[in-house]
């Protein structure tokens, strides 16, 4: 069964004129009993942040938080020291980068558009952790376009397999870029859920047409088939049913 989540049906919010968000699932002041996430995937926020603006220091606990930048640059600083002069991680996230923060027992962080003259567009993703009360941690890696072109590249996983970012969750995320005649298929485990989020462009997912911002839940499907992309950038989530 395939259930579509159309972009125009997502929740919308603005903040101070500098933040514009589309929420695939209930978040903050947006609540929809029919859209509470799928399995252990709780949040996909599609955020556009004006130049030089951002989220001041605030706290999180027991959550796996992934940032995926589509345009611009996101500057991250946290109470673990990320983004400070003495840190190995600059905290600057650019297109092709995947950032993961495990909030664990608690972390304070801020996120700002690192550019003054143009907006930054990124996805913020929250996934329920497998274990609570862990030590907070941060990881960031870059995945070149060639790794994602016409195929799905594993970018986040439970164990950090194949050079992916690791996370404390029974889930994985793959990313792909599709255009023209590029296509990709893979078998699916019907005991789990698959959620496809099309960040931008157009793409056929198991014969269903998706446009930028659309999502599709695949439940009981034995195969994932991606084809007929037009400047498509897609994320594919493998999820525990919870």
Query: 60: how many CB neighbours lie within 10 A of its CB?
Result: 18
Q: Which helix (H) or strand (E) holds 69?
A: strand 64-71
Binned at pLDDT 50, 70 and 90, residue 78 comes out as confident
State the residue for tokens 């009981």. 220
- Give the per-residue pLDDT at 48: 98
pTM: 0.96
Q: What is the pLDDT of residue 171?
A: 98
Task: Give the residue-averaged pLDDT of 227-233.
Answer: 98
Question: Over 90: is that where the pLDDT of 84 sits?
Answer: no
Quick: pLDDT tens for 133-168.
Answer: 999 999 999 999 999 999 999 999 999 999 999 999
| Chain segment 164-195, per-residue pLDDT in tens | 999 999 999 999 999 999 999 999 999 999 99
- Distance from the Cα of residue 6 to its chain's centroid: 17
Helix, strand, coil content of the chain in percent (nearest 5):
5, 55, 40
Kindly list the structural domains of the chain, giving each domain's residue range(s) and its CATH number in brackets, ordered by start.
2-239 (2.60.120.10)
The answer to whether residues 231 and 179 touch, using CB atoms and an 8 Å cutoff, is yes
């Amino acid at each position: 069964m395939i259930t579509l989540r159309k972009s125009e049906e997502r929740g919308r919010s603005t903040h101070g004129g500098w933040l514009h968000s589309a929420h695939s699932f209930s978040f903050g002041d947006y609540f929809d009993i029919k859209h509470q996430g799928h399995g252990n995937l709780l949040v996909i926020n599609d955020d556009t942040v004006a130049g030089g603006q951002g989220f001041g220091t605030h706290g999180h606990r027991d959550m796996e938080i992934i940032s995926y930048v589509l345009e611009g640059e996101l500057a991250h600083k946290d109470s673990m020291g990320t983004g400070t002069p003495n840190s190995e991680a600059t905290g600057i996230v650019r297109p092709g980068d995947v950032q993961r923060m495990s909030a664990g027992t608690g972390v304070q962080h801020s996120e700002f558009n690192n550019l003054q003259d143009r907006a930054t567009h990124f996805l913020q993703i929250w996934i329920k952790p497998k274990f609570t009360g862990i030590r907070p941690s941060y990881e960031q890696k870059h995945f070149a376009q060639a790794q994602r072109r016409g195929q799905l590249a594993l970018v986040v996983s439970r164990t950090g397999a194949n050079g992916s970012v690791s996370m404390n969750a029974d889930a994985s995320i793959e990313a792909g870029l599709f255009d023209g005649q590029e296509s990709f298929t893979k078998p699916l485990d019907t005991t789990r859920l698959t959620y496809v989020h099309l960040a931008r462009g157009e793409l056929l997912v198991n014969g269903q047409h998706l446009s930028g911002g659309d999502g599709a839940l695949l439940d009981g499907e034995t195969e994932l088939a991606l084809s007929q992309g037009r400047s498509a950038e897609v994320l594919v989530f493998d999820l525990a049913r919870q």
